[in-house]
Structure 1
Amino acid sequence: MIFEAQEHFVLPYPGSEDEARSFLRDPGRSLRAVSFLRALRFDGGIVRSELAVNIPMFGDLVLPFESEVTSTAQGALLTPRPLSGRAWAEVGGLGEVQSGQLDYHLSFRVHISMPQAEKWGGAAFEKMFQATARKTLERVAQEFPAGVRAAMP
């Protein structure tokens, strides 16, 4: 199963445009206060972390991800790197400084391997899981701006 969500947001930055670009290019700083990220590391241009989400009625799910950070003229590009396993995420996007504001375009793609439903009860469970997981991912994406705002100086 694959679930996707996108989030676009703009936040004023309380410093110079050079400081804002530096903030965008350093996920160790800019993402440190995002509540659902665990084990955040940024080294050698690669950000690694885990999306920790709670799916109502199904419990906690930890989704590791890796993304490459590339500097652009106005900010940074985040390119997902594929992982293996039963559950993982791709996190990508573009962050740019525009007129003293941070302009983020983020995408989340979650991969979850589940056994194939063979009977009507399994199919019903799968549909319920899909609907709940999709809503949870959308909620997580919408919470992202508050975490970035909290990490600002």
Structure 2
Amino acid sequence: MQFRAEQRFRVRHPGPSGSALAFLRDPSRSLRDVRFIRDLRFEGGVVRAHLTVDVPMLGEQRLPFESRLEETARGARLVALPLSESAWAEVSGEGNLEAGELDYALDVTVHFPLPEPQKWGAAAFQKMVDATARRALARVTAEFPRGVAASIARET
């Protein structure tokens, strides 16, 4: 199964544009207070971490992801890299500096294997998991703006 969520938002950065761009281009700074991202490492232009999603009926799921960071003229772009794990996440997006504000676009796709339903009960369970997982992922990505704002506040 695949579940997808996106989040678009703007947040003010109080520093000069050079500081704002440096913050935007350094995931170890800009994403450190985002609660659903764990074990964050940024090495050689690649972000490696786990996306944590609490799914009712399945518990907390820690899904690995890797994304390549590409600097752009106005900020940075994350390009999701494929993983071979059975359960994993694609995390991509873009951040741009616009008149003292950081304009973010985050896209998350979760790949989560579920066995093919053989009976009516299994199909019903799969539908429940699908609905709750989609809501859980939407809640997680909705937390992203708060985490980035907390990271900015920590630096000022």
Relative to the length of structure 1, the TM-score reads: 0.98
Report the equivalent of 2:133: 133
Amino acid paired to 2:87: A
1:85 corresponding residue in structure 2: 85
Matches within 5 A, 1:1-153: 1-152=1-152, 153=155
Runs (5+) with no aligned partner, structure 2: none
1:104-123 deviation line (CA, Å, top 9, x unaligned):
01100000111111100000
> Structure 1: which 4+ aligned runs deviate by more than 6 Å?
none
Q: Which amino acid counterpart does residue 69 of structure 2 have in structure 1?
A: V
Task: Tell me the C-alpha RMSD between the 2 structures.
Answer: 0.7
State the percentage of identical aligned residues.
52
Offset of 1:86 from its aligned partner? 1.9
2: distance between equivalents of 1:42 and 1:113?
A: 27
Distance in structure 1 (CA, Å) of the matches to 2:11 and 2:102: 5
TM-score, normalising length: structure 2 = 0.96
Deviations 1:114-137 (A, max 9, x none): 111110000000000000000001
Which has the larger displacement, 50-59 or 136-145? 50-59
Number of aligned pairs? 153
User: How far, CA to CA, are the matches of 2:5 and 2:43 in structure 1?
Assistant: 26
CA distance in 2 between counterparts of 1:88 and 1:8 reads 22
- 1:43-92 per-residue CA deviation (whole Å, 9 max, x = no partner) reads 11000000111112321111100000000000001000000122100000
Whole-Å separation in 2 of the counterparts to 1:51 and 1:62: 6
CA distance, structure 2, for counterparts of residue 39 and residue 49 of structure 1: 5
Letter of the 2:58 counterpart: F
Q: Structure 1: how far apart are the matches of 2:62 and 2:31?
A: 17
